[in-house]
Structure 1
């Protein structure tokens, strides 16, 4: 048996202390009383910091090697495990961990783990899960969600606002940007139009801060850069862009808006290749689809997931919309395909108004869980990380030491690789987000997925983006966000290597 206790910092925490014995001993006792082959079991303890998440307190995750060669020879240096028992230490203090472990093991052994559950999809890679359809629905129908909750989405962020709105941070960026433009202007190399792109504009508050500070600094600087500025606001949600347009109305002569998929920015911005001096991104990458991969005992695995609604929640949810539990999956699919407004027209026997449909949507999202399993990868070169990157980019990270499970950040990689070619040779990409800036971060703590209001959040694989950027001739650096102490947000900067 292998035990991996990741939240080791909590063992000495004055505010939220835990003990390894209380977290591990009940689980080991339950395993000892089962028929499970203890030599082929992993126990992994995490502190799941997101109170809204997709996890049960105790989960059993099957481990399936490529071709499932059980009983065959095991390659030298490979640990061939059958199961992973995953424990949420944060909620473990509120749960009888031994009983929960026994129940999960018995259900797995008897093949009844799905009894009573409403399955929303088949097994598949994380980026293909319907949780991303829920995520897309949140942004496309954000107005209805905000009306139902009575608060703007930004209030769901830690601290109640985005770090992108920090004026000191905007001034710092602008001071550096103006210095670059001054040097080019002195050499008569500055183009007549000065392009700045923001991906994930949100409600426009960041854009307003940037534009207000830009105009003020330019007035003092005296070079007329504001007159030449072209600020492009880009977002997935038309509703969000409409709000942003109102927010920056006084700068409208310098602002354009584009609805685009953040994973394919060149589909709308390809005409700007090599012309953009600043690409600004905040809290976008952590909200893009991602797979997870793992290196366990010398083998490489893809983490497959399957979304479901637990039996108790399914019964309550079905009763609330005059449906049977076996009708829920179809109703959820209609919701994700049509949205809450049209769902009220398509299924009036279950939801009589858009408001009822939004209530159904919110309650469903709260109840959704993810079952997981590990499926062996035949070869990293056969795994498509993004349209332009193969899984070989993962090798130096996966083979960096001890066992590791990490996000692939497929959506962020796709966005990043399509965005870099837009940069002017003197341009920069600046991104504020939740980055794991070291591979070791994945060995020491839980990095998602969690739920932010109605959307999905995952930490972004910073070392992977840095590795991909270097292979394309860019320096990629990570620094703590300098203007709000204690935040988890990290600033990534990418620019052409000198």
Structure 2
């Protein structure tokens, strides 16, 4: 048996975790169960997100072959000297003291719990949790009306660090320094482009534009007159709010509803013209797979969304349906949205408010099963469908090798959506341009071995930390220097600033 207790920092301090209470009952249940203890892993995490997709104890099968579409196992070459585990038992230490841990683990080992499964097994980035995520942003106005608060209030502290004026000053001064040098050599374009991906309610854009105009008046070069600020977001509702926020600068602002994973689809006319691509709290909200290197073998983490039986029965009863009808109702919700759901299912949803209530309750109850499936080879695993443009080398899973094989066992995010967005955004940058991103970055692979990094739930959306070493590795392969540092303008918090510039 291999025991991996990750929240080791919580074993000390004023309220230390009781290691015995959170681990021994699980080991006792395993010892009394019919499992091969030599092929079991016990992994303990501190799941900091109070709303998440996990139960207190989860069992994750570790498959020895990759299942095909027809259900037959596909043989995977097994390297010599690997550890062939069969099962991982995952424990959330934060919630474990509230349950009878031994009895719960023993029950799971005896039989599969009763669940209403909403989808088949697949890669994490393909799960319906991302359909829920997309629905949240497309129907945000209805969600906010039901909750009585704006989505930014769900962020730690109730607002985004993007609004920090000192940070805006720093960005603007950096732009002016670049533009001054280019102007002196008559190389500065007439039109100066800045792109923001994920504008929120426009607070960041307003801070930036207000300070830009003020600094430009002091600077005296007339850069504000030439500025084009492009606000980009998935949600048209968010863009409409943002345009109201920056109304006094509207002559310099354009807005684009786009998929953040493919910004060049809408902004291709700006290729190599943008001096600043600004991103804040977007990458952590884009679809991602997880991969793992365990005992010498590499696995993809497959997921399957479900509703626990008790919650499913209560949810079905609330809309005069059976539990067997729930998967179809959920699919209709995701396909049509709550505004149209009453038209196709009036017996269950007499009005839009009842459809929104069903959406919110389903999201709250939603959980994910997980299993490890061996990869046939990293070269066969596509990190993202985006290749970075004509003539670019496709993003192969081989890019993961130096990170996965960097030491002890590790499980980490691939951040497929963030990676696609990052690569596509680099193609927009002027040779003297910069990409700046504030987000939840893991800056060292060791961070995946010691802390839980998602997924969690922020209001109605999904949040995962971003694999910083992977983005830096990909950026360097494309000729960019990528650097990380703690957000300078606020103490505490987990936000990290990433910058990417063409290598000198």
Q: How does the TM-score come out when normalised to structure 2?
A: 0.96
Distance 1:421 1:452 in 2: 30
- 1:473 positional shift: 0.1
Is residue 466–residue 476 contact of structure 1 (8 Å, CA) maintained in 2?
A: yes
Quote the RMSD (CA, aligned, Å): 1.4
Distance 2:415 2:8 in 1: 25
1:81 aligned to 2:116? no
The residue that corresponds to 1:378 in the other structure is 376
Query: Residue 99 of structure 1 is aligned with which of 103, 108, 111?
Result: 103
1:19 aligned to 2:23? no
CA, structure 1 residues 52+73, in 2 after alignment: closer, same or farther (shift >3 Å)? closer
Distance 1:431 1:7 in 2: 28
- 1:221 positional shift: 0.6
Summarize the alignment of residues 150-229 of structure 1 with structure 2, pairs less than 5 Å apart: 150-229=148-227
The residue that corresponds to 1:60 in the other structure is 59
Summarize the alignment of residues 304-315 of structure 1 with structure 2, pairs less than 5 Å apart: 304-315=302-313
Query: Residue 435 of structure 1 is aligned with which of 426, 437, 441?
Result: 441
The residue that corresponds to 1:363 in the other structure is 361
The residue that corresponds to 2:334 in the other structure is 336
1:229-269: CA deviation from partner (whole Å, max 9, x where unpaired): 00000000001000000000000000000010000001001
CA, structure 1 residues 189+70, in 2 after alignment: closer, same or farther (shift >3 Å)? closer
Structure 2: runs of 5 or more not aligned: 68-72, 388-394
- For residue 143 of structure 1, give the secondary structure of its aligned residue in structure 2: helix
Distance 1:376 1:449 in 2: 21
- For residue 173 of structure 2, give the secondary structure of its aligned residue in structure 1: helix
The residue that corresponds to 1:282 in the other structure is 280
The residue that corresponds to 2:8 in the other structure is 8
Query: Residue 457 of structure 2 is aligned with which of 428, 451, 461?
Result: 451
CA, structure 1 residues 72+152, in 2 after alignment: closer, same or farther (shift >3 Å)? closer
CA, structure 1 residues 467+74, in 2 after alignment: closer, same or farther (shift >3 Å)? closer
- 1:411 positional shift: 0.2
- 1:186 positional shift: 1.0
- For residue 431 of structure 2, give the secondary structure of its aligned residue in structure 1: strand
Is residue 437–residue 462 contact of structure 1 (8 Å, CA) maintained in 2?
A: yes
Tell me how many residue pairs correspond in the alignment: 491
The residue that corresponds to 2:70 in the other structure is none
Is residue 196–residue 278 contact of structure 1 (8 Å, CA) maintained in 2?
A: yes
Distance 2:77 2:303 in 1: 28
CA, structure 1 residues 321+73, in 2 after alignment: closer, same or farther (shift >3 Å)? closer
Distance 1:85 1:442 in 2: 17
- 1:343 positional shift: 0.3
CA, structure 1 residues 72+209, in 2 after alignment: closer, same or farther (shift >3 Å)? closer
1:79-115: CA deviation from partner (whole Å, max 9, x where unpaired): 00000000000001111111111111112xxxx33x3
- 1:19 positional shift: 2.0
Distance 1:134 1:363 in 2: 12
Is residue 77–residue 376 contact of structure 2 (8 Å, CA) maintained in 1?
A: no
1:316 aligned to 2:320? no
Query: Residue 402 of structure 1 is aligned with which of 385, 392, 408?
Result: 408
- 1:67 positional shift: 4.9
- 1:74 positional shift: 6.0
Is residue 66–residue 75 contact of structure 2 (8 Å, CA) maintained in 1?
A: no
Is residue 486–residue 497 contact of structure 2 (8 Å, CA) maintained in 1?
A: yes
1:2-24: CA deviation from partner (whole Å, max 9, x where unpaired): 0000000111132x420221111
Distance 1:282 1:441 in 2: 21
The residue that corresponds to 1:479 in the other structure is 485
Distance 1:232 1:263 in 2: 16
- For residue 42 of structure 1, give the secondary structure of its aligned residue in structure 2: strand
Query: Residue 397 of structure 2 is aligned with which of 388, 391, 399?
Result: 391
1:46 aligned to 2:69? no
Distance 1:482 1:66 in 2: 47
1:23-74: CA deviation from partner (whole Å, max 9, x where unpaired): 1101000000001000000000000000000000001000012358999996
- For residue 45 of structure 1, give the secondary structure of its aligned residue in structure 2: strand
1:382-417: CA deviation from partner (whole Å, max 9, x where unpaired): 001012211001000000000000000000010011
Distance 2:336 2:118 in 1: 16
Distance 1:177 1:390 in 2: 34
Moved more, 422-431 or 64-73: 64-73
The residue that corresponds to 2:390 in the other structure is none
The residue that corresponds to 2:299 in the other structure is 301
Q: How does the TM-score come out when normalised to structure 1?
A: 0.97
- For residue 347 of structure 2, give the secondary structure of its aligned residue in structure 1: coil
The residue that corresponds to 2:270 in the other structure is 272
CA, structure 1 residues 449+91, in 2 after alignment: closer, same or farther (shift >3 Å)? same
CA, structure 1 residues 329+81, in 2 after alignment: closer, same or farther (shift >3 Å)? same
- For residue 294 of structure 1, give the secondary structure of its aligned residue in structure 2: strand
Distance 2:85 2:74 in 1: 10
CA, structure 1 residues 209+74, in 2 after alignment: closer, same or farther (shift >3 Å)? closer
The residue that corresponds to 1:238 in the other structure is 236
